Amino acid sequence: MTIFTKILNGLILWGLRCIALPIGVVSVAAIIVCLAPASRAPEKDLDTIEDVAGVSLDSLAELYAFRDRLNGRAYQATTVSYLSTSNRLPHFPPRNHRFAHIVQARIHIEETAQAHWRNAQTLAIQAVRLRERKPSRLAHLEQSQQLWQAAISHLQHISSESFLAQAAANKIVDYQNQQIEDVHRHDAIRSTFLVSIAEQTKIDPERIHISVCTLELDECHRLNGDRPPVSPASLIKVPVAVALMQKLAEEDIPPSTPIYIHPRNYTEDASDIQVGNEQPLHYVVERMINQSSNVAINQLVDYLGFDYINSVLSERGYGDMFVGSKLIGDRIEPKRLGRKGTNRITTDALTAMMAEIYQQLSPGDSLLVEALSTQTDDRMGRSAFTGDDILWLGEKTGWNSRVLGATVAVMIGDNHYVLTVALDNTTNTKIMRDIMQDIADHILENDGF
């Protein structure tokens, strides 16, 4: 056996793929090339279905089709492997096996999402039919609320990776609104005592906005509570105070930090805040609440910015509230009044916010509780909630030529309550007191609502 034959046999034994070398004409360079391991480009670690397919797939049907094509190619490759190596069982090449695993995992996500989507739709249809069949029955409204919640739960189980993720997110918002509508219908039926109280005032009930809840918000009653009064007046100062407390907590700013009270924010008010000097933030927010300072809110609006205030309200779920303008006194308009839109509240939202403050769920709430408890305006809730079984805890009042309002925390009997009342187009404080006293009497007489 020649030296060249031995070399060739050695190459075969090593399993290297070389072109047959012509005997007698082998150079050292050629032998080195053949002996060197084959150079291979690094494989990409394919983790997503888009990487596997090389294109973007948009539906479960396309996933099924791609899986079938992939399985067809895998079968052909396996058949070739089986014919050429009869002593091995057919198998998927490793790369195709990984492809198949990724595709099947995505198909599972989409099949699960489709099942949750169908279940949610079925529950939603049942809720709508139940509401339409007996819209005034409490039991049916309670059942429909449960159905909406079950439908929302199914949608929340849809993976964020699914084709249905965005549609599910949109549908959740829709179903939550439907659920809230049923809650309001349910509360309206159970809140007939508020209608009776409103009728006794001789004012058109459409001009009266009432929301009253237990402190834990586990039971609420309302009359036009989801409809904004014609103006929030100084009640808008409560959400501004809440936004300030969040900023201080987020940025670790001490409440004792002084801010300059700019003369451009001057307008008439009854507080002792003066422009042209510095005051601690806690003093400014206290005067905004307990003395209803317009100068204070105008300065805090500059300090926080409209966009920040409204983003805080939105993030906390108070989409019914909006701050778009500073406040004006009798004649003097502050500079940079703001043209973001009309200030807006609802008694529902303000009552929920007061409940959160008095539960002290967020940093800075204790400061706000202190400010509310030192309210100097005693014409409304502070005068209405008196007696051995009633303890007034705190209040923010608001009034102008278009609206009269107050939001109050109070202990009636052994339980804590929060309520907000706003009267459109009246400044009659006696009517406000009568409404609040009648609500307290109802709670006492019925040991609750």
pLDDT digits (tens, 9 = 90+) for 295-322: 999 999 999 999 999 999 999 999 999 9
CA distance 438 to 112: 53
Query: In the prediction, which pLDDT does 186 show?
Result: 78
Query: In the prediction, which pLDDT does 440 show?
Result: 97
Higher pLDDT residue, 110 or 27? 110
Query: In the prediction, which pLDDT does 38 show?
Result: 40
Mean pLDDT of the chain: 84
Prediction pTM value: 0.66
pLDDT digits (tens, 9 = 90+) for 383-395: 999 988 999 999 9
pLDDT band at 408 (very low <50, low <70, confident <90, very high): very high
Contacts of 76 (CB under 8 A, 6+ apart): none
Q: Does residue 420 register a pLDDT over 70?
A: yes
What residues are paired with 260 via a beta bridge? 278
Q: Which residue has the tokens 């791609």?
A: 66
Q: Which residue has the tokens 């904004």?
A: 228
Query: In the prediction, which pLDDT does 253 show?
Result: 98
Query: In the prediction, which pLDDT does 251 show?
Result: 97
Q: Does residue 40 register a pLDDT over 50?
A: no
Find the helix packing angle between 365-373 and 237-250, rounded to 10°: 150
pLDDT band at 64 (very low <50, low <70, confident <90, very high): confident
The mean per-residue pLDDT over the stretch 3-31 comes to 41
CA distance 262 to 157: 51
The mean per-residue pLDDT over the stretch 377-386 comes to 95
